[in-house]
Amino acid sequence: MRTIGFIGMGNMAQALAGGFISKGVIEGRLVYAYAPNQEKLRKNADIFGFNASAGLKELIGACDVLVMACKPYQIEGVLKTALPLLKGKALLSIAAGWDFDAYQPFLKEDVRFQFIMPNTPAMAGDGVFLFEEKNSLLPEEEAWAKELFGALGLVEVLPSRLMEIGSAISGCGPAFVDLLIEGYADSAVKYGIPRETAYRLVSHMVRGSAALQIATGEHPGSLKDKVCSPGGTTILGVAALEEEGFRRAVLKSIDAVMHKNR
């Protein structure tokens, strides 16, 4: 049985560790974590059912697979301490920007590596996990990692050149969808629906629409057409969105992210 250890225990790491354990893909006794705030770490260990480690040496010594879950700006400093201890280990990194090539100046050949980009819906057990195609894991380790993360959402493998746009869509996209939810909820409130009810109605509408597209595999335009009766109310709303440049705004939001990253 493989043991897994989290270096850092922020919100995403808590979601992953807690999700893996609650979904039954790994037993809590096989999950470890280290974070500088030991009091908070121990409280989370009690909540989620993993083992709290007192230091990096203890954590790495106890685990076969490590997950780098600290902030991107902390990674280089953590690696300086952790590198001598990582010999023969598998390292998964979920920090934005730290892909396979970014790690290579720091890692020795005896450390196997995989970059994984998660998104915030993973906290609800319905995330997207982008696995960089380029990695140095053993085949059985890669299969194990995909099974583990797959318990909390969609696992999608992308070549390195597409990880940036993939991260823009799955990583930034939830914020854009939240903005959509907020806007339609405001409209509901404007016409008399209580705020909490409005959020509930709109969020379920968004979730259901996405679930229908996934279930049917139909083109979104085709699903849209099925709601738009000739001369009906929905097509009037669609026309209003087009007049305001809805799809153009969506495209430009991703352009802005991609340009920022370059």
Tens-digit pLDDT profile for residues 36-63 = 999 999 999 999 999 999 999 999 999 9
For the four alpha carbons of 65, 70, 72 and 78, in that order, the dihedral sign comes to negative
In the predicted model, is pLDDT for residue 116 greater than 90?
A: yes
Task: Report the C-alpha gap between 218 and 22 in whole angstroms.
Answer: 33
Tell me, what's the pLDDT at 1? 84
Q: Give 116's strand partners.
A: 131
**What value does the mean pLDDT take over residues 142-158?**
97
Please say whether the beta carbons of 97 and 81 come within 8 A.
no
Classify residue 157 as exposed, middle or buried by CB count within 10 Å of its CB (0-12, 13-18, 19+).
Answer: middle
Q: What is the pLDDT of residue 109?
A: 84
More confident residue, 244 or 96: 244
Work out the pLDDT band at 250, boundaries 50, 70, 90: very high
pLDDT at 65 over 70: yes
Amino acid in position 20: F
pLDDT given at position 260 = 77
pLDDT value of position 261: 67
pLDDT of residue 262: 64
Range scoring the smallest mean pLDDT among 24-28, 105-109, 210-214: 105-109
Residues of the chain with CATH 1.10.3730.10: 166-260
Cβ 68 vs Cβ 7: under 8 Å: yes
pLDDT at site 108: 83
According to DSSP, the residues that pair with 153 across neighbouring strands are 127
More confident residue, 97 or 133: 133
Looking at the structure, give the CATH architecture of the domain made up of residues 4-158.
3-Layer(aba) Sandwich (3.40)
CATH class of 166-260: mainly alpha
Range 15-27 average pLDDT = 95
Which residues, including other chains, have CB under 8 Å from residue 54's CB and lie 6 or more apart?
A: 34, 38
Q: Where in the chain is the domain with CATH 3.40.50.720?
A: 4-158
Q: Is the pTM of this model over 0.85?
A: yes
Both tokens of residue 234? Answer: 């929905």
Greatest C-alpha distance within the chain: 69
User: Residue 180 pLDDT more than 80?
Assistant: yes
Q: Which value, to the nearest 10 degrees, does the dihedral of the CA atoms of residues 142, 145, 147, 152 take? A: -150
